[in-house]
Amino acid sequence: MSFIKYVKEEIEIIKDRDPALHSVWEVFLYPSFKAVLSYRLAHRFYINHHYFLARFLSQRSARKTGIEIHPGAQIGKGLFIDHGNGVIIGETAIVGDNVTLYQGVTLGGTGKEQGKRHPTIGNNVMISAGAKVLGSFTVGENSKIGAGSVVLEEVPANCTVVGVPGRVVKKNDISIPHEKLDQVHLPDPVKDDLNTLQRANCELTNRLFEMENEIRRLKKITALEMERNGKHEVI
């Protein structure tokens, strides 16, 4: 792909996903644009076994942009990194097409794996601010990772993950249109569990009140029967 064609594609990607863009010239100021462009060049050197030069380019880009992309990572078309500071993509990570990452995202390893150590991210995935995806597993296409989540196991396609550790919430296996991938409208399984416990506690409390009232009623009936029989023991 020529540089001009690549720049045009990046402009369209950023225009589509970043409402803060007011002019196409601003694209050249975006850290994500610079970081991904530098990665594309460094990756060419990497696959041709020029490892030192590849790492030199990637580390220089990391210092300038705050986005660290290992030149060995495999990244598809349409990657958009919003803001981007603190984003880390590991050496064996594989990122599909039309993926959106927000600031502070880590696609890393656990430190216990050999070979393929980093995650594979499917097409049309959104990973929200501060999320950590750690390990050699796949995040299925059309999925969303909630802000601050720590994902340690495989995520099926068309799902949402929230929490620490990340918990999968099924989305009825329906593909999520890209325009609906946002960081706000996410389910909260912890809140759902708390609401369930609260309802169960209320039901249990009401049942105890009913049982106490029934015991009082039986005591009164017993006392009346004993009075009729001439026994005046206090129950």
DSSP for 85-119 reads TT-EE-TT-EE-SS-EE-TT-EEE--SS--SS-S-
Between the CA of residue 19 and those of 13, 14, 44, 82, what are the distances in Å?
A: 11, 8, 32, 11
Render pLDDT for 94-123 as a digit per residue (tens, 0 to 9): 999 999 999 999 999 887 778 899 999 999
- Residue 54 Cα distances to 50, 58, 76, 130, 182, angstroms: 6, 6, 18, 27, 34
Please write the tens of the pLDDT for every residue from 118-167: 999 999 999 999 999 999 999 999 999 988 899 998 998 888 888 888 78
Are both 203 and 163 inside the same structural domain? no
- My answer on whether 205 and 175 are in the same domain is no
Do 127 and 76 have their domain in common? yes
Domain count, the chain: 2
pLDDT: is 182 or 20 the higher one? Answer: 20
Q: Which domain holds residue 175?
A: 3-185
Q: Are residues 218 and 135 in the same domain?
A: no
Domain finish residue from 143, 170, 185 = 185
202 and 132 in a single domain? The answer is no
11 and 23 belong to one structural domain: yes
Q: Which residues of 183-206 are buried (b: 16+ CB within 10 A; e: fewer)?
A: beebbeeeeeeeeeeeeeeeeeee
Q: Are residues 120 and 206 in the same domain?
A: no
112 and 148 belong to one structural domain = yes
Give the domain CATH number at 64: 2.160.10.10
**Span 215-229, mean pLDDT?**
83
Q: Answer yes or no: do 141 and 221 share one domain.
A: no
List, for residues 67-83, the tens digit of each pLDDT value. Answer: 999 999 999 988 989 88
- Among residues 144, 165, 185, the one where a domain terminates is 185
